Amino acid sequence: MTSKSSFLFVFVWSFLHASVGNAYCREHLIDKIGENFQITYNCENTENLVEYQVIRQITENMDFEFFTFDPRGWNLMCSKLSYNDETVDSQCIHTGIKRPLSYKSGLKTLAITLNTGVSALEKYYLNRENYSYFYPNVVELYADTGCAIMVRSGEILLFSSNNALEATGECLLQYELYLTQKK
């Protein structure tokens, strides 16, 4: 009886532990003749560093994003609606007291840098061969996205152009799409 209960414990523990670190993007695409184009992404944190989720739905005229980040720290919830490439509504709620700028799990770290200007990012882009993933692809797009993410072995660097994390949803979405395609 002891070996069965031990096996069950190990199985349940490994299942739960694996599911936390193996999130990915679910993608739903409608692109059929006679139907309206629509793509929806639902992405959760793959890296076991900080919990976040990005849901984004894009149609011919509309782009909607819902983004949550670190419910135990920042407790950030944002939504953004654009229609015909014009932002109609954008809101964020910060209810967290702690707002850590670094997260660590095992040998991996996530470092967040706020209020980063383009000139501060140029050194990373000049040494991009040291990183396995970069978004945006060129530093000139940083002003438009408001965020940048760079990844190398054991280290994720996340940058925001202002003193908030609202724009980082786009970078985290792109990173999760990259990880999903890599699998």
Q: Which helix (H) or strand (E) holds 59?
A: strand 52-59
Tell me the C-alpha distance between 52 and 25, whole Å.
12
Contact status, residue 177 vs residue 25, Cβ threshold 8 Å: yes
What is the model's pLDDT at position 23?
61
172 closest CA partner among 43, 3, 23, 41 = 43
With cut-offs at 50, 70 and 90, classify the pLDDT of residue 182: confident
76 closest CA partner among 64, 86, 65 = 65
Cis peptide before 100 (omega within 30 of 0): no
> What does the pLDDT look like over 37-59, one tens digit per residue?
899 999 999 988 999 999 999 99
Q: pLDDT at residue 15 above 60? A: no
Q: pLDDT at residue 11 above 50? A: no
> What does the pLDDT look like over 86-130, one tens digit per residue?
999 999 999 999 999 999 999 999 999 999 999 999 999 999 999
143 closest CA partner among 129, 128, 163, 162 = 162
The token pair that represents 86 in the structure block: 């014009």
Q: pLDDT at residue 7 above 50? A: no
Place of tokens 């939504």: 79
What is the model's pLDDT at position 20?
40
Residue 140, SS3 per DSSP: helix
Decide: pTM greater than 0.85.
no
Tell me the C-alpha distance between 92 and 99, whole Å.
15
Beta bridge pairs of residue 7: none
